[in-house]
Structure 1
Amino acid sequence: MADVRFDAVRKVYDNGQVAVHGASFGIADGELMVLVGPSGCGKSTLLRMVAGLEEITGGTLSIGGRVVNDVAPKDRDIAMVFQSYALYPHMTVAENLAFGLKLRGHGKAEVARRVRAAADMLGLAGMLDKLPRAMSGGQRQRVALGRALVREPAVFLLDEPLSNLDAKLRHSVRAEIAQLHRTLGTTMIYVTHDQVEAMTLGQRIVVLNEGVVQQIDTPMALYERPANLFVAGFLGSPAMNVLHGRLLDGPRLQLRNDRVLALDGAAVAREWAGREVAVGVRPEHLQPAGEGEAALFVATVEGIEPVGNEIFVNVMLDDAPLVMRVAPRPLPPVGGELPLVLRADKLHFFDAATGVRL
């Protein structure tokens, strides 16, 4: 096992495009770190630089305390699981699992031991004679995981390994990966654009946008205290609601159409008065007013989405669309009015110009 360290790592392509801007962070020995962000944010580029599949333009990359900028991929003691599985279609499961070990000169007994151990761990013991085409997507992904597992590497790299699976399979294979990490205790770097995967798998998460690290923290710390508007909007489903306006004494928020909302109980510093801000509120912290409860404002219902144990309600406050997450309950029809309250103590305040958390 090994730690991984990025020190001012940059990647600039020949056409001048900067894919990664000076990333500096560490991944602890045995940690499962998730790199998350929208397409083109640089997360896969970072992973491929660890694998040795992309040259590093600047900075240093260390694995286990050894700088590997110029070390060949085969000598880095890493194993990678690709989005496309990358299985050999003419080989059985057992042959796919064993192929890399045989190339590295391991003896028959050692190859058999590792293949058997990986197959048992991943529930593949009864499928060793099957070809990939005779297997489901989830089974093939387990074979891809097993092929990395038999290598017994210092670092596992997983590049969007669940993106080709349906929702049910994604959930089950995600659970298998989490269990695998708990069992092995090996360093894992997991790349995804899916924030649900990131939140449920990562011990810590690196949020990237346009090649720049936005924030690194535990899943709940990112959710409860996002460093900027990008992180606030990216993590959370449904996304955080954002109201734009000017803070007044009270504290109160004057929206752009001059509507004023009282924010009693909000943690607002006095020196913020008069400042243009973006105020974030999570969907679960915006709720219908209870019986006899004074409403903060009345919104128009635009849509109702029951999803089993909760309902997503889309409403409109003047020209601002908002979404809230509520427990199943009677609601006005679409087009009806709904009095609302919000948890002022759960509000997030960001500078309107920079998007940085206040």
Structure 2
Amino acid sequence: MAVVRLDKLRKVYPNGHVAVADASFEVGDGELLVLVGPSGCGKTTLLRMIAGLEAISAGTLAIDGRVVNELAPRDRDIAMVFQNYALYPHMTVAENLGFALKLRGRPREEIAGRVREAARLLELESRLDARPAALSGGQRQRVALGRALVRDPKVFLLDEPLSNLDARLRLAMRVEIARLHRRLGATMVYVTHDQVEAMTLGQRIVVMDAGVVQQIDTPMALYRRPANLFVACFLGSPAMNLLRGTLHVGDGLRLAGAQGPVPLGLPPQAAALAPWHGRELVLGVRPEDLQPAGEGRPGRLQAQLELIEPVGNEIFLNLRYGAQTLVSRVPPRPLPAPGAPLALDFAPERLHFFDAATGVRIA
């Protein structure tokens, strides 16, 4: 396996569009790193630059200590798994798995051995003689993974490999990929627009927007300490609740918004927030941290319950707070009927604060 190092990697198209702006990070040896962001954010372009399928406009890309900016894809020792399976329909599973090795002139015995090993790892041994049309979507995706696996590359690149599968198969294949990564200890770069996929698969995540890397960290570090409003809202389902207002600092903090003052108590960031007295900021509260106040307690804000969404092990409460909506995530419990007022509370230490002008995290 190998380390992949990006130093101010940039992609600018002839029309002037900047698809990737100065991306700098390192993929560790044996790490599974996920590139995530909305459509058009540059994540697939960045992956294709690593693969050699897109020319690099500026910056340096190194794989295993060797600068590969000008190398052809076949000389970079990478294997790529695409969104569409790209299997040869007239070939059997075994022939699809071994085709790249055959093109490279590998001995027949070596090809057969590698194909058998890949089929064993991916539980395809009973399907080696079948053609793609006879396979399920999950099996086809495993063949596509196996075709990359038999090459034993330095780096695996996966471009939204599960997006064509239904929800059940996506979950099953996420487990398969995570299990495969643990077995191989392979260096993998994985692209997805699905933040749940990113959070469950990635050892680290690179969050991108408009071609710019927004934050790089472990999944839970990103969730608990988002660097800006984009990361805060992109990661998490339902998304973080946001309240905009003017901060007042006294015995405790208070946010003055369109619906009146919201007491914030004394969060750990209180000292760092003192200079923000009288200035506008954005308060963030995760749905699981916004809870109905206990019986007889006034809560920190008053909302109206609009819709209850039970999803089995938890319930989403859709609330109206003035002109905006809020969401609370609660365990199964007796609840008032839609339309009823509901007092809400939160723990000061679970709050997030952002600059209203720049979106950057405060403190």
CA distance, structure 1, for counterparts of residue 354 and residue 165 of structure 2: 37
Alignment of 1:332 with 2:336, yes or no, is: yes
Partner of 1:153: 153
Q: Which digits, 9 at most, give the CA deviation of each residue in 1:208-232, with x for residues without a partner?
A: 0000000000000000000000000
Shift of 1:258: 5.5
Q: Which amino acid aligns with 1:330?
A: P
Shift of 1:294: 3.5
Partner of 1:143: 143
Partner of 2:8: 8
Shift of 1:50: 0.7
Q: Which amino acid aligns with 2:263?
A: A
Alignment of 1:107 with 2:111, yes or no, is: no
Shift of 1:309: 0.2
Partner of 1:262: 263
Shift of 1:297: 2.0
Q: Which amino acid aligns with 2:66?
A: R
Is the 8 Å Cα contact of residues 93 and 127 (structure 2) preserved in structure 1? yes
Q: Which amino acid aligns with 1:349?
A: F
Q: Which digits, 9 at most, give the CA deviation of each residue in 1:251-301, with x for residues without a partner?
A: 333333260011113232322212210010000000011134341122101
TM-score, reference length from structure 2 = 0.97
Is the 8 Å Cα contact of residues 312 and 324 (structure 1) preserved in structure 2? yes
CA distance, structure 1, for counterparts of residue 7 and residue 204 of structure 2: 18
Point out where structure 1 has 5 or more consecutive residues left out of the alignment.
none
CA distance, structure 2, for counterparts of residue 58 and residue 254 of structure 1: 45
Give the 3-state SS of the residue equivalent to 1:263 in structure 2: strand
Is the 8 Å Cα contact of residues 253 and 266 (structure 2) preserved in structure 1? no
Query: More displaced, 205-214 or 325-334?
Result: 325-334
Is the 8 Å Cα contact of residues 38 and 193 (structure 2) preserved in structure 1? yes
Q: Which amino acid aligns with 1:327?
A: P
Partner of 2:30: 30
Q: Which digits, 9 at most, give the CA deviation of each residue in 1:162-219, with x for residues without a partner?
A: 0000111000100000000000001000000000000000000000000000000000
Alignment of 1:118 with 2:118, yes or no, is: yes
1:191-206 equivalences under 5 Å are 191-206=191-206
TM-score, reference length from structure 1 = 0.98
Q: Which amino acid aligns with 1:20?
A: V
CA distance, structure 2, for counterparts of residue 276 and residue 84 of structure 1: 47
Partner of 1:89: 89
1:1-358 equivalences under 5 Å are 1-250=1-250, 251-257=252-258, 259-267=260-268, 268-269=270-271, 270-358=274-362
CA distance, structure 2, for counterparts of residue 185 and residue 286 of structure 1: 40
Give the 3-state SS of the residue equivalent to 2:102 in structure 1: helix
Matched-pair identity in %: 67
CA distance, structure 2, for counterparts of residue 298 and residue 25 of structure 1: 44
Is the 8 Å Cα contact of residues 252 and 260 (structure 1) preserved in structure 2? no
Shift of 1:16: 1.1
Is the 8 Å Cα contact of residues 51 and 78 (structure 1) preserved in structure 2? yes
Give the 3-state SS of the residue equivalent to 1:62 in structure 2: strand
Q: Which amino acid aligns with 2:226?
A: P
Count of equivalent residues: 358
CA distance, structure 1, for counterparts of residue 150 and residue 262 of structure 2: 59
CA distance, structure 2, for counterparts of residue 294 and residue 339 of structure 1: 6
CA distance, structure 2, for counterparts of residue 14 and residue 44 of structure 1: 18
CA distance, structure 2, for counterparts of residue 319 and residue 343 of structure 1: 24
CA distance, structure 2, for counterparts of residue 225 and residue 96 of structure 1: 44
Point out where structure 2 has 5 or more consecutive residues left out of the alignment.
none
Give the 3-state SS of the residue equivalent to 2:265 in structure 1: coil
Q: Which digits, 9 at most, give the CA deviation of each residue in 1:120-174, with x for residues without a partner?
A: 0000000001110111111100000000000000000000000000111000100
